A and B are shown apart, each in its own frame.
Chain A
Amino acid sequence: MKELLISLNQTQKVRLQAALQHLAELASQVSSSNLAVTVADTIPVNNEDGILKGHGTTEFDGQVVATLCGIVERVNKLVYVRTLRARYKPEVGDIIVGRVIEIAPKRWRLEINFSQDAVLMLQSMNLPDGIQRRRTAVDELNMRSIFEENDVVCAEVRGFQHDGSLHLQARSQKYGKLERGQLLIIPAYLVKRRKQHFHHLEQYGLDLILGCNGFVWIGEHAEPIDSEVLEDRDKIPKDKQRDTPLEVRRNICRISNSVRLLSALGFALSVEAIVDTAEASKSSNVDIKDMLGAEFYVQTAEREVQRRASLLRKKRFV
């Protein structure tokens, strides 16, 4: 709620309060087993032995003490604290979106909302002509033709280097430079790890990439490029390439506003939620710029309350 400074009038405030109240109630009904802790809180482990202390915990005076604010999670004997507002915590296999900040010898450095910059090696990137071969010095000199500074890139985490920085790879057709769209930065904890992070919204003709690091890309749909097609494309000079149509641009803005709205409210992002919000805005004829206004804000909160309530009911009956 810090990013959108919304001035609510009295009724809206009341409605919002009521909605938030409902959400709190629902949350307490769902799972009360997870304990919220702050720094230096003792985590109750009932004096079990062999407790594994994971991230966010330390030992003090024979007790397990939290070093972060968050929710305590337990897996068998492993106890760890899951933070909310912290920087992105990478895992191998995550899809991330980043921005190139530096071109170093044989690699690109990307900024990805992590404690260090991520490294994308030249070998981990497909060459523009698609041939698999050793990268030569000429390739190194032509790195700028693939990515420049401030380009937005989508890649996958391949592993960690010994100094803790991330190693990325972008070897498939889906990864690579992202063009013709918007990059949004939201708190990383709102993007849950799912099976799929690339989404192709057909009804809007858009690509939506929910990067696990909190960078969300919404752009015009780009077909995965074949190497033969690429040659033809290179021949067309840049200005003759067709512009994004107006309708698609409107859709991009609508979707990105719904992402902004959901992240401002603090709701976890998922494709369904984003598309629902966009649909709701369309059906209630809310203008794109009004989506970030007070009325729609409160409506979205109320809608979320209903959605979660119905989910809870479904779970109860199952």
Chain B
Amino acid sequence: MEYVSSLTGFRFDGRRPNEMRQIRGEIGVLAKADGSALFEMGNTKVIAAVFGPREVQNKSQQIDNQALVRCEYSMANFSTGDRARKPKGDRNIISYSADHGSKYINTFDASFSGKNLKQIDIFLQVLQADGGTRSACINAATLALADAGIPMRDIVTSCSAGYLCSTPLLDLNYVEDSAGGPDVTVGLLVKMDKMTLLQMDAKLPAEIFTDVMQLAIEGCKAIASYIREVLLENTKTLECMRGS
């Protein structure tokens, strides 16, 4: 199947190979949460809610002298093409949740893991899935955490890239994702230039892998600058509304 048109070089949805889908992020969408965000990458829509830092709810889960990060990821029944049933029992989902949580522990400021026993809860809900849900979740969670005012060392962004028709493609959608080609997802700490997530399924030769990974990193950086802008804009608006 021609995922990349040989004539025009465009993809299915009219994008170039190194073009990302349109991203949109909105902060403060939920009233009750400490921090919340809605992140869209093309048709993928994810909503994230953060609660905390707050008192540890379940003392048995508490690890000594460290803050507890809990992450819950779920896909709505209506998010995929077919209306799925019982999404909660899915093994993927549990592993996703665990992974997400671990991403963030490294980013939280040192002042957190002290004698203060706190708990931070991150809830992710996929409203519409069209490929790249994992990246969208990570990005949404970053926005929500920043909105909640939790000190973080850096912005975590994530983007996926693939390799189809001998071209590295950035930001795969569902159709491209289910084509069976490799799908590299990268999670990056932008300023510190460190990677927190690197995941791939299928096989790729090493050099091509390097290229694809580079492409994904570029995508992450672009998303990071967008996220930064959104946060800055939000801060400025809040401050000017608050008045002197």
Contacts and interface: CB of A to CB of B under 8 A. Distances in A.
A2 B235 contact: no
B241 interface: yes
Contacts of A30: 244
Contacts of A230: none
Contact of A85 (B28, B53, B110, B153): B28
Q: Size band of the A side of the interface?
A: 35 or more
Contacts of A83: 149
A28 B148 CA distance: 25
Contacts of B29: 2
A83 B145 CA distance: 13
Given A2-B28, A69-B234, A40 B155 contact: yes
Majority secondary structure of chain A interface residues (helix, strand, loop or mixed): loop
B154 interface: yes
A136 B231 CA distance: 54
Contacts of A41: 228
Contacts of B235: 36-38, 69-71, 84
B55 A40 contact: no
Contacts of B154: 39-40
B149 A84 contact: yes
A266 B53 contact: no
Interface stretch (A9-17, A60-68, A287-295): A60-68
Given A2-B29, A67-B153, A85-B147, A115 B54 contact: yes
Interface string A17-35: 0001001101110110010
A79 B155 CA distance: 21
A65 B191 contact: yes
Contact of A67 (B116, B147, B152, B237): B152
Contact of A68 (B53, B151, B243): B151
Interface string B224-244: 000010011011111111111
A191 to B, nearest CB: 11
B244 to A, nearest CB: 6
A40 B190 CA distance: 9
B115 interface: yes
Contacts of A36: 232, 235-236, 239
A115 B52 contact: yes
B149 A266 contact: no
B164 to A, nearest CB: 33
A117 to B, nearest CB: 5
Interface in A81-99: 83-87
B201 interface: no
Interface string B96-128: 000000000000011000111110000000000
B206 interface: no
Interface stretch (B2-10, B30-38, B39-47): B30-38
16 contacts: A2-B29, A2-B31, A3-B31, A27-B243, A41-B228, A67-B151, A69-B232, A84-B239, A85-B147, A85-B238, A86-B34, A115-B53, A164-B115, A190-B242, A266-B238, A304-B243
